[in-house]
Structure 1
Amino acid sequence: MSTATDPYRVSMVCLGNICRSPIAEVLLRRMVEDEGLADDVVVTSAGTGAWHVGGPMDPGSAAVLRARGLDPDTHRAQQMTAAVVEQYDLLVAMDTSNLADLQEMVGDADHPRVVLLRDFDPDGADGQSVPDPYGGGPDGFETVYAQVEAACAGLVTALPGFLADR
């Protein structure tokens, strides 16, 4: 758990950390920088599964980021486990299954906070999942990008409140 002087640590979490959560990590990091919060908030991503650990982002995710001038090349998949959850202040799940997995990892502890990304969508997508585009075509990755972008905009607006609450 971070103190008021430590950076607030956020991890975007999906299943394999190659499709949705890397897009969310790159977008949220850019938004945090644009809001002048880069010194206060550190953004990473992880997957609840270990299949892709150490591997790059899915080519479809990389393509939607590159098309918008964002760099996907430094990403390497990592796994979120019960042994490391306490290193974070906020765990942001891409879908309800990831949310349940994260809640189980955190258990009865009141830290870190676990939330569903689309609950921050200003257009009211509360309780909805970001669909997994893995194995699909470019349209699926475009849909994910649009949903993640909208929800990350809402999340970055909420971050000052999270920072104040720690």
Structure 2
Amino acid sequence: MIKILFICHGNICRSPMAQFVLEDMVEKAGMRDQFMIDSCATSREEIGNGVHYGTKDKLRKEGVRMHDHRARQLTKKDYEEYDYLIGMEETNIRNMKHLLGGDPEHKMMRLLDFSDHPRDIVDPWYTDNFDITYTDIVEGCEAFLKTLKK
């Protein structure tokens, strides 16, 4: 089983969006039982809060199934449990390394590092543009799955 943890600052916009998008992709590909997918935050600001309404609205429009999710913070146990710790931007990676004391097994990377155009995924909390975030996340998840198939 491939264990993937998506991580962003608050775990209410980008990382749950990536979680639900990838879950949808693997479900449609008939590979759901081969993956464990979750998401969390580097900060404590949103712990216990649900998914941002902008993320919910965008995923509903795209027909991506969601389930109940509450923000939680990344832990050292997560590093042991997951194969991939995928951040949305370079700041997430820096904060992940700080929280966990480094990345000795090289499990941390940005989602769009798997794509042909590596870059950060902008935080829609600040931009209010969930369309761009969704497009970037789909690009990253498709590239990630393509990488796994190799």
- Structure 2's unaligned 5+ residue stretches are none
Is 1:109 the counterpart of 2:107 in the alignment? no
For each residue in 1:61-106, what CA deviation from the matched residue of structure 2 results, as whole angstroms up to 9, or x when unmatched? 1100011122335121111123432111100110001112223426
2:84 aligned residue: 90
> How far 1:41 moved relative to its partner?
1.1
Change (3 A) 1:57 1:108: closer
Identity of aligned residues (%): 30
Counterpart contact for 2:4–2:84, Cα < 8 Å: yes
Structure 1's consecutive aligned runs of 4 or more residues displaced over 6 angstroms after TM superposition are none
2:71 matched to 1:80?
A: no
What root-mean-square deviation, in Å, do the aligned CA atoms of Structure 1 and Structure 2 show? 1.7
Match in the other structure for 1:30: 24
Q: How many Å apart are 1:39 and its aligned residue? A: 1.4
Give the counterpart of 2:123 among 115, 124, 132.
Answer: 132
Give the match's secondary structure for 2:125. coil
TM-score by length of 2: 0.90
Question: d(CA) in 2 for partners of 1:8 and 1:73?
Answer: 20
Normalised to the residue count of structure 1, the TM-score between the two structures is 0.82
Indicate the structure (1 or 2) with the bigger Cα radius of gyration: 1
2:24 touches 2:65 (CA, 8 Å); kept in 1?
A: no
Matched-pair contact (CA < 8 Å) for 1:57–1:72: no
Q: Which runs of 5+ in 1 are unaligned?
A: 1-6, 162-166
Letter of the 2:125 counterpart: Y
Match of 1:154 among 135, 140, 143: 143
Assess if the C-alpha contact under 8 Å between 2:26 and 2:32 holds in 1.
yes
Pick from 116, 121, 142 the counterpart of residue 131 of structure 2: 142
Q: 1:86 to 1:63 in 2, by over 3 A?
A: same
